[in-house]
A and B are shown apart, each in its own frame.
Chain A
Amino acid sequence: MKNPESHREVVLKAIQNGLSSTRHTDHPQEFFMDLIPAPSPQRIGSDEVLHNFQKMLELVGGECYITAGEQSLHAALQEVLQTFAGSAVLLSPDPEIQRLNIDNLILQTSLRIIHPTQQNMEEAALAPVGLTSASAGIADTGTVVLVHIGETGRLSALLPEVHVVLLKKATIYPDKLTFLQQMKLARIDLGATPMTWVTGPSSTADIEKVLVRGAHGPRRLIALLY
């Protein structure tokens, strides 16, 4: 077998030969793009944006509660978790979850905390609910942005039937383009860290196009805004 380097050369050569007759510039074209549509004029985290987020998430089968702030978030979360009393909750110990002191809140309930890893998955897979924070929200599609770095893994949002996600109002952007622009302005490299955009509970329509919520991932997605 030829070494991998040579396959690379074969492919690149095929491309270059193929394009040689058409390509008249020998430097990459300057990419300048007027985006259609322009990013939304709505203000990030404004009531209008929050309500749009809620509406769009509900349209795809998600649940969304807009709380008054961190205090009422705790109450709302307690209410949600009560349904699962006596069982385990998967928790991503991300910085925001720690800042909000969620561990403490859960300790006051009868739930047991599991930090899921590739090692304890068998046990983790039995938990009915998982709790994570989200890094951002995108209103016009009802999308939550999950970033996987350090201890913030993927499994809490993925293995259980119910995913509860905590989302700061100030991080809800009107649309993808605004999100992208803001990340660029803040010099945040979207290519640096593994990232998942989640829009609603998992679903499939593979049998006769009948939409069924709850395929391989969560069946319910509950977003708590604070």
Chain B
Amino acid sequence: MLPDPSAIKSNIIEALNDQRLRAAVMKATDHSLTKRAEVVAELPHWEALRSQAAQRRQETLLHIDEHLLQLERKASEKGIKVHWASDGAIANRLIGELCQAAVASGMASPGQSQPLIVKSKSMTTEEIGLAPALQAQGFEVVETDLGEYIVQIAGQMPSHITAPALHLSRSDVGRLFADKLGVPYQEDPVELIGIARKILRRKFLSADIGITGCNFAVAESGTPLIVENEGNGRLVSAIPKVQIIVMGMEKVVPTWEDLMILLELLPRSATGQRMTGSVLYFNRPSTGGEPDGPRELHLVILDNGRSRALADPQLRSILCCIRCGACLNVCPVYRRVGGHAYGWVYPGPIGSVLAPIFLGLEKTKDQPFASTLCGRCDEICPVKIDLHHKLLELRHRIIEAQSNWTAERGLLTAWKFVLDRPELYHQLAKLPRFLLHDICRTLKTPGIPVWKQHRDSPDLARRSFSQLFQKEFGSD
């Protein structure tokens, strides 16, 4: 299945027939939701926290340029090199140049024929296709998060924001490892993780450049940070002499207090943890005398469609998202088809809103329709994004933009015409009664098929409820 957000309809039909996939996704998302519910129940002030976070995130967006400039200033003062990229292609080119420069300056070991880049998990780098872009420039790029590593060697996209390999069973992973890594088939997760640890440890020890994402960046102190569990983010930012942080610009938070609120919400919503295994604060590059850490630290601030969301008051608050993936876990569509069906890096409700903004309505016109509008995504969102209203808004825009919907448009225009005129509406409301009661009964069903042959039409009251009500209680 090639990544193609316009293929969502056919992908979904295909995925619905895949019982194994559905079972895997259901099981995994149920597991996440159960764990989340347990740790959320521990906090009596959970709802207040959500409201506070939502309010703070929205306020932040209104002055995001000032926060980003403060972040830039504070980070630069500490020796972090800050770069800006208006889109993914520019970011990829810039990061490629940074990597080339690292090799040229001898920061990366010159002995290696192919410079080695180790990556920790980052949806933003998936979004811009960074790894393939760097591979095309002759770098070896290794994903080190276990789930990301699995989908990388399988040649797939992540299928969930926080659990990239959620669609694969242990036997799938076992076969994949046997096939790609030449190890004997086994399906014990502990064994499989041991194999990956061993292979990736070699990569870490000889890595030249580390690339991480950025969960948040504190403006007041110039602190980009990530959260992770496996320790791979720690190794990526401890061993290579050059580290590049790729940050979606909406990840900026003004203060450490903001961060504390979000650190309460994110791990609980994402993985049902009270805190992730590690939180890494990339405060500055390391100095000559220090034993480890990057000598050179770059921060790339990425727009790539985010300013379009910012300019759109009805969609703006989608930028409050902290990428926990909880909306995927509850979504009745996602739970049945998994992430790949969406054909894009961000699946589920959040993805169906981001896709039209980032990629344009043309290629993504079916995305906002992959939803039942049940609103469970709104209810679970830790920063209270009104996801299903945004999906509705996008549906509206998509329909408005289409010219070939004349039949539906005509019907709805007629419907509006009637609804605007109560008297006409009341007259027309009598029509179904007339049709059902009088025509069906008298005609004895010649035209109406089998269904009617063994059924009588209901014996309707002579007067409608509103007529009776009028008569009984009406003032005139």
The answer, among B31, B59, B257, B291, for a CB contact under 8 Å with A116, is: B291
Bound-state Cα–Cα, A61 to B212, Å: 26
Classify the interface of chain A: helix, strand, loop or mixed: loop
A195 B283 Cβ-Cβ under 8 A: yes
B239 A121 Cβ-Cβ under 8 A: yes
A207 B173 Cβ-Cβ under 8 A: yes
Bound-state Cα–Cα, A198 to B234, Å: 10
Bound-state Cα–Cα, A199 to B263, Å: 13
A28 B66 Cβ-Cβ under 8 A: yes
List A contacts of B86 (CB < 8 A): 7, 10-11, 14
List B contacts of A200 (CB < 8 A): 277
B165 A150 Cβ-Cβ under 8 A: no
Min C-beta distance of B253 to chain A, whole Å? 11
Bound-state Cα–Cα, A199 to B289, Å: 28
Q: Is the C-beta of A117 less than 8 angstroms from some C-beta in chain B?
A: yes
A180 B235 Cβ-Cβ under 8 A: no
List A contacts of B276 (CB < 8 A): 199
Greatest chain B CB density within 10 A among A14, A158, A216 is at A216
Query: Size band of the A side of the interface?
Result: 35 or more
List A contacts of B103 (CB < 8 A): none
The B-contacting residues of A in range 150-170, CB under 8 angstroms, are: 150-151, 153-155, 158
The answer, among B62, B63, B83, B204, for a CB contact under 8 Å with A216, is: B204
Q: Is the C-beta of B133 less than 8 angstroms from some C-beta in chain A?
A: no
Bound-state Cα–Cα, A210 to B86, Å: 39
B311 A150 Cβ-Cβ under 8 A: no
List B contacts of A117 (CB < 8 A): 291-292
Residue-wise interface mask of A (205-221) relative to B, using a CB-CB cutoff of 8 A (1 in contact, 0 not): 11111101011111000
List A contacts of B155 (CB < 8 A): none
Bound-state Cα–Cα, A141 to B276, Å: 9
A11 B257 Cβ-Cβ under 8 A: no
Known interface pairs A18-B307, A206-B147, A216-B232. Does A177 touch B275 (Cβ–Cβ under 8 Å)?
no
A202 B74 Cβ-Cβ under 8 A: no
Q: Is the C-beta of A176 less than 8 angstroms from some C-beta in chain B?
A: yes
List A contacts of B284 (CB < 8 A): 192-194
Q: Is the C-beta of B41 less than 8 angstroms from some C-beta in chain A?
A: no
Min C-beta distance of B108 to chain A, whole Å? 12
The B-contacting residues of A in range 1-53, CB under 8 angstroms, are: 1, 4, 7-8, 10-12, 14-19, 21-23, 28-29, 31, 33, 35-37
What are 15 sample pairs from A and B whose C-beta atoms fall under 8 A apart? A7-B85, A11-B84, A11-B301, A14-B310, A19-B310, A29-B59, A115-B291, A118-B239, A121-B205, A142-B275, A148-B286, A199-B274, A199-B276, A210-B189, A217-B232
Known: A14-B310, A193-B284, A199-B276. 15 other contacts (CB 8 A): A11-B307, A15-B307, A18-B312, A19-B311, A31-B59, A36-B49, A117-B292, A151-B290, A176-B263, A189-B221, A191-B74, A194-B293, A204-B147, A206-B165, A207-B189
Which B residues lie at the A interface, using CB under 8 A? 24, 27-28, 31-32, 45, 48-49, 52, 56, 59, 62-66, 68-69, 74, 78, 83-86, 90, 93-94, 144-147, 150, 163-166, 168-170, 173, 189-190, 192-193, 197, 200-201, 204-205, 218, 220-223, 229-232, 234-235, 237-239, 241, 249, 254-258, 260-261, 263-264, 271, 273-284, 286, 289-293, 301, 303, 307-308, 310-313, 316
Which A residues lie at the B interface, using CB under 8 A? 1, 4, 7-8, 10-12, 14-19, 21-23, 28-29, 31, 33, 35-37, 56, 60, 115-118, 121-122, 125, 140-143, 148-151, 153-155, 158, 176-177, 180, 189-210, 212, 214-218
